[in-house]
Amino acid sequence: MSVANKVLTIGTAAIASGAIALSAAPAKAWEPSHPIEIIVPAGTGGGADQMARAVQGIITKHNLSKQSVVVINKSGGAGGEGFLDVKNSKGNDHKLIITLSNLFTTPMATGIPFNWKDLTPVAMMALDEFILWVNAGKPYKTAKDYVDDIKSKPDNTFKMGGTGSKQEDQIITVALEKATGKKMTYIPYKGGGAVAVQLVGNHIDSSVNNPIEAVAHWRAGKLRPLCVFDDKKLDYHDKIAGDLAWDSIPTCKSAGLNVEYLMLRGFFAPPGISNDAVAYYVDLMKKVRETPEWKKLMSDGAFNQSFMTGDEYVKWVAAAEKTHEELMRSAGFLAKTN
Amino acid sequence: MLEDIGNLFHGFAVVAQPYNLVLMVVGIVLGVIVGVLPGLGGANGIAILLPLTFSMSPTSAIIMLSCIYWGALFGGAITSILFNIPGEPWSVATTFDGYPMAQKGKAGEALTAAFTSSFVGALFAVIVITLVAPLVASFALEFGPPEIFSVYFLAFCSFVGLSKEPPFKTIASMMLGFGLGAVGLDQMTGQLRLTFGFESLLNGFDFLIAVIGLFGIGEILLTMEEGLSFRGKTAKLNMKVVLNTWAELPRYWMLSLRSCLIGCWMGISPAGATPASFMSYGIAKRISKRGRFFGTGEIEGVVAPETAAHAAGTSALLPMISLGVPGSPTAAVLLGGLLIWGLQPGPLLFTEQKDFVWGLIASMYMGNIVGLIIVLTCVPMFAAILRIPFSVIAPVILVFCAIGAYTVHNNTFDVVMMVVFGIAGYLMKKTNYPLAPMVLAIVLGDKAEESFRQSLLGSQGSFSVFWSTGLVSAIMTLGLIALFWPIIQNTWVKIFGSAGEPRPAE
């Protein structure tokens, strides 16, 4: 019956959390008094979900917290469900949410009443990179080859596959369209893994998959990375596919495609929680980052390992929101109610 | 090939270690419990237990987790048959004949048939995986949006017109299902649909909530009206039932084989176990000599969906291992586990992590055998549940339904929705609106819509995309044949006379 018990614990944890927040003893440093929930505003198996479950596993394995960690997916309305849940859990200091770009894009595209300022920023864990991929069977060896071909053909000849609609992948696609001056046909899929396989099966012409989503197919010689949407090359030197490593991939800028995009993987907490609680979580995440499992996850996924907290983090998020708003506005993705 | 067989035996050796065997039994038992509780499916069960496995070796961990999966596949059938409450989406089709069988006092037979068919389906799929894994992976790559849509189209077509109810009631029910399925975020445009500004509707209507309400709560309301007791108390409670049913099952080998093939195809494509079970049931009803008795407690109506669901559920693990694309939600959670254990799913996993892959495949064989033994020995015990007075068991079922509905999204609003669906299900049953088309539309409607619109996006709006390659044309044509089958059959009889039972070419 342990499964049923677990479920009940989750249920009661949600109900009791408000009460316990009030009774926390102020004398010594803040510590969680019951299980910590990590909300994932996306489905199971995606990048955010994987990271949340990795953090959960690391905390459990290394005993970093006296309390256990529970991961809960609330993916409804492109993650809106999860964000609203955390926004409405004011003062609940046993709840965290891991973000992806839908932190900005979901409220902008759907008009749901939510903004990141409704939450308490905790820490940036990493930034996720985006790479332009094509099928290895295609003749394009460089981003320039591909872009030249796009330019030489009529609009909508090329199909770009991506995750979701009016989210990061489509934003990058729109930016690419601007850079090439040609429209592409954007086809949304449910998850990044599916997009990579559609590319292997030649059902689409290119994708902007995160490294971890496509690396297996690259190593198997099915996909080819053309360029990375960052201002510098990836900082990982281990050989992955033949003689190539992540740092062999040129930046898109150097290939004449002036498009940059990085996705936030960070934690936020509900509004109105104490500074002591925030400090506890920042410290916890610092410990997580020190573990070998975390380092392996970072190098497997070729993440940009920026870590930020406090004001620095807030500034970064504010700037990122501005960038997203500009990108979304110019693409016509903003909800009419905004 | 020979090397693969060697690897497989090595895998058996790994699995047969006492520690792993214990994990296997624990996994199966947990899985059965998880499968029995409606809403708390294999995916949730694995997600909850995943953290426990981080300290194990990846091979031991996957053995335990995949056994939870097998257990959940077995367990889903139990509540479908006994209480008309599908514990898992793919068990819905099992209720159509399983529940009437239980009402007739043949719960033991129905359970035995369900478990045995599940085992046959899974075994067939594992053999397919062992023998032709690389080939199968490349087959999965053929499936772009038009192909996937054509598969859903075929699933709908082979199911339409099966109901005994008037066609207009069937269509009304199905359209209502499509409508409910459309609520929430539109994947294609990123816009919210039919939420009318209610935050609770952001998630749409989850299929599981609808099923728990329509079937589970609806059924309890009906039973209350009909005198507060279960029919089917007379079910025999000894192991003889198992043996007698086994003696009967080999007669349906053709049905099993066909269901296995449908299941493997659906699992690999990857459309999943739910369309597989519906499609297999629909086709069985058309082809079987006793087709017109389907829905009144035919054993074939249990064998077909269970075989296909298990074959699909098992073969769904193949695209996960070889391509990194999960064919089911449970496979998606397992995929997350692979990454955390430091394994990279993909084409190279077979060569780089032989221990792991062949350990997993061996655990599929062993896990299903162990699972079958465990659940079959419990058949009399499960059937005995029907002897507990209704006044005792009904509140327990209601509580489990509520927990299940809550667990789907950890949302109390869903529990309210479950009750609303329950009342709707009761009213629909009283007015003879069939529930199955609505359920089918909710579960497959949005996926079919998604692949339909992806296809049209890719083709710039041209419908010719659905006849653009041999594969997609063939599946679409099969779908049309299935849709117009009654007409084709009538014409055939008119032209050639009623030459016995006309049987379509497979």
In angstroms, the CA B218 to CA B383 distance is 21
The answer to whether the Cβ–Cβ distance between B458 and A197 falls below 8 Å is no
Taking the CA of residue A197 and the nearest CA in chain B, the distance in Å comes to 7
Average pLDDT, chain B: 84
Q: Which residue among A110, A159, A300 sits closest to B192, beta carbon to beta carbon?
A: A110
Question: Which chain B residues are within 8 Å of A11, Cβ to Cβ?
Answer: 403, 406, 410
* Residue at token pair 């996957």: B62
The two structure tokens encoding residue B2 = 């020979």
Instruction: Give the strands of the sheet with A95-98, arranged side by side.
Output: A69-73, A36-40, A95-98, A263-269, A120-128, A308-309
In angstroms, the CA B44 to CA B42 distance is 6
In angstroms, the CA B239 to CA B232 distance is 17
Tell me which fold the domain A131-248 belongs to. Answer: D-Maltodextrin-Binding Protein; domain 2 (3.40.190)
Angle of helix B2-15 relative to helix B354-377, nearest 10 degrees, comes to 60
ipTM surpasses cut 0.85: no
pLDDT exceeds 50 at position A299 = yes
Q: Say if residues A222 and A200 touch (Cβ distance below 8 Å).
A: yes
The two structure tokens encoding residue B149 = 């849509």
Taking the CA of residue A245 and the nearest CA in chain B, the distance in Å comes to 16
Residue extents of the structural domains in chain A: 30-128+263-331, 131-248
pLDDT exceeds 90 at position A104 = yes
Q: Which residue among A45, A77, A187 sits closest to B203, beta carbon to beta carbon?
A: A77
Taking the CA of residue A248 and the nearest CA in chain B, the distance in Å comes to 21
The pLDDT assigned to A94 comes to: 95
Question: Which chain A residues are within 8 Å of B202, Cβ to Cβ?
Answer: 76-77, 80-81, 84, 112
The answer to whether the Cβ–Cβ distance between A54 and B340 falls below 8 Å is yes
The pLDDT assigned to A3 comes to: 43
Residue extents of the structural domains in chain B: 2-496
The answer to whether the Cβ–Cβ distance between A109 and B191 falls below 8 Å is yes
Question: Where residue A46 falls among pLDDT bands split at 50, 70, 90?
Answer: confident
Residue in A197, A210, A215 to test binding to B, most B beta-carbons within 10 Å: A197
pTM: 0.85
- Average pLDDT score over residue span A55-60: 88
Question: Which chain A residues are within 8 Å of B407, Cβ to Cβ?
Answer: 7
Give the architecture-level CATH label for domain A30-128+263-331.
3-Layer(aba) Sandwich (3.40)
The two structure tokens encoding residue B300 = 């074939």
Taking the CA of residue B144 and the nearest CA in chain A, the distance in Å comes to 6
Question: Which chain B residues are within 8 Å of A68, Cβ to Cβ?
Answer: 51
- Average pLDDT score over residue span B418-438: 91
Q: Say if residues A4 and B37 touch (Cβ distance below 8 Å).
A: yes
In chain B, which residue's Cα lies nearest the Cα of A162?
A: B188
The percentage of residues in chain B with a pLDDT greater than 90, rounded to a whole number, is 21
Residue count (chain A): 338
The answer to whether the Cβ–Cβ distance between A203 and B458 falls below 8 Å is yes
Residue in A44, A159, A166 to test binding to B, most B beta-carbons within 10 Å: A44
The answer to whether the Cβ–Cβ distance between A197 and B325 falls below 8 Å is yes
Q: Which residue among A72, A166, A201 sits closest to B410, beta carbon to beta carbon?
A: A72
Question: Which chain B residues are within 8 Å of A49, Cβ to Cβ?
Answer: 336
The answer to whether the Cβ–Cβ distance between A156 and B47 falls below 8 Å is no
Q: Closest Cα partner for A266 from A30, A47, A45?
A: A47
Q: Closest Cα partner for B143 from B134, B152, B155?
A: B152
Q: Closest Cα partner for B299 from B122, B115, B125?
A: B115
Q: Which residue among B48, B333, B349 sits closest to A3, beta carbon to beta carbon?
A: B48
- What's the half-sphere exposure (Cβ side, CA atoms, 13 Å) at A42? 26
pLDDT exceeds 50 at position B184 = yes
* Residue at token pair 């929680």: A273
Taking the CA of residue B258 and the nearest CA in chain A, the distance in Å comes to 27
CB pairs under 8 A between A and B: 185
Q: Closest Cα partner for B255 from B296, B286, B219?
A: B286
More confident residue, B294 or A204: A204
The answer to whether the Cβ–Cβ distance between B185 and A215 falls below 8 Å is no
The two structure tokens encoding residue B142 = 């053929």
Q: Say if residues A227 and A251 touch (Cβ distance below 8 Å).
A: yes
Taking the CA of residue B290 and the nearest CA in chain A, the distance in Å comes to 41
The CA–CA distances, whole Å, from A297 to A199, A201, B318, B343 equal 24, 27, 24, 11
Q: Which residue among B51, B203, B332 sits closest to A45, beta carbon to beta carbon?
A: B332
Torsions phi, psi of B222, nearest 5?
Answer: -60, -45
The answer to whether the Cβ–Cβ distance between B195 and A77 falls below 8 Å is yes
The answer to whether the Cβ–Cβ distance between B340 and A53 falls below 8 Å is yes
- Average pLDDT score over residue span A87-94: 94
pLDDT exceeds 60 at position B313 = yes
The pLDDT assigned to A7 comes to: 44
Question: Which chain B residues are within 8 Å of A297, Cβ to Cβ?
Answer: 339-340
- Average pLDDT score over residue span B418-442: 90
pLDDT exceeds 70 at position A4 = no
Average pLDDT, chain A: 88
Q: Say if residues B203 and A77 touch (Cβ distance below 8 Å).
A: yes
Lowest mean pLDDT among A187-191, B231-235, B409-413, B431-435: B231-235
